[in-house]
Amino acid sequence: MTESFRRSGEYDNEYTTPHQGAGQHASSPAGPQPAAGQHAASPVDPEWPPPPAYQPSPPGPAGTSDAVGPAGPAGLLSEPVAHPAPRRRRIRGPVALIAAVAIVAAAIGGASAYGIQELTGSDTVASSSTSTNVVPSSRQGTVSGVAKAVSPSIVEISANGSAGASTGSGVIISGDGEIITNNHVITGASQIKVTTADGKTYSAKVVGTDPAKDLALIKLDNASGLKAATLGDSDRVQVGDGVVAIGSPEGLTGTVTSGIVSALDRDVTVSTGEGQQPQRSPGGGWPFEYGGEQYNGNPGSSTTTYKALQTDASLNPGNSGGALIDMNGNIIGINSAMYSAAGSASDAGSVGLGFAIPINTVKADLASLRAGGDK
């Protein structure tokens, strides 16, 4: 005999004895429906469902267990339908996180974009010696792409003084006309004229010099809106990296040549331009010493030595102060010395032996140059 546990703790038969009349219990689960004015009593145990012959009743009191019979399986089958909501909540977490990072990226720029790459596992940064891509992505790694992107930032410098005239190059580092060049390009000059890539000519004044590093900073008069070059990181340059040189050799403004970095940390000795003027060879290049040998003449008695990048990119007189550029368009050096074959005119020209002052040396010296340096 099936038994159920009553709330009073007593045991009884599964169903009560049938009674007649209003307010009385139905005789059995399958018994007749009560007459008008009558109602069927609930089963003794409220956990049991209404009889199958009746219309399904609303859910029972709180704490009741799953129903059996036709209504029961339907309830069980419907239970998984409630699961999508928790699943959606689980999905919304990462999506919300990435959306939040994207908003931060839009607010603070490139650094956060790197954070998104780290979160998503994406690695889209091009391998290079520096982290900035000045050249458009469709032209990266090409000499023409570098030339187009950087040429507007390279100028020709004409310096006139008591010792004569000289021609060199320079790199624009600010929109209002700050230009880095070699000290030997402007030393002793009483008048400086600068021609930009678009053909405009400006007068310039010396802001500061550092003869020990063969560097100088000049400033254009009444200039604005110029395109400043991007200064890279010469500490990350490696032998074999492709490079482009831009300058004004022999007054040929905006000349572009290319090659590789041939060596690092070469000890190059050049004239400081102070005291006795260096004696140039017929080839016309600025005199320098390397490995105990003199090139392009005698540097004179007042010299300075610095660590240089060596390149086989073609450099000629007039390239001094111009830019040595990596293949992403970053300035990695200031061209300062090159070997020109001495002798007859047939011997003139570059032989692939050039040197550049590392750009990190320039960046470390900028504050001093802006303050006047040794001027």
| Catalytic residue IDs | 184, 214, 320
Closest CA to 334 of 292, 362, 375, 302: 362
Pairing of β 178-181 and β 215-220: antiparallel
* Separation CA 273–CA 367 (nearest Å): 22
Both tokens assigned to 55: 């219309």
Both tokens assigned to 206: 């010396």
* Separation CA 375–CA 372 (nearest Å): 6
State the residue for tokens 């709330």. Answer: 7
Could you write out the three-class secondary structure of 299-361?
A: CCCCEEEEEEEEECCCCCCCCCCCEEEECCCCEEEEEEEEEECCCCHHHCCEEEEEEEEEHHH
Pairing of β 178-181 and β 297-298: unpaired
* Separation CA 88–CA 78 (nearest Å): 18
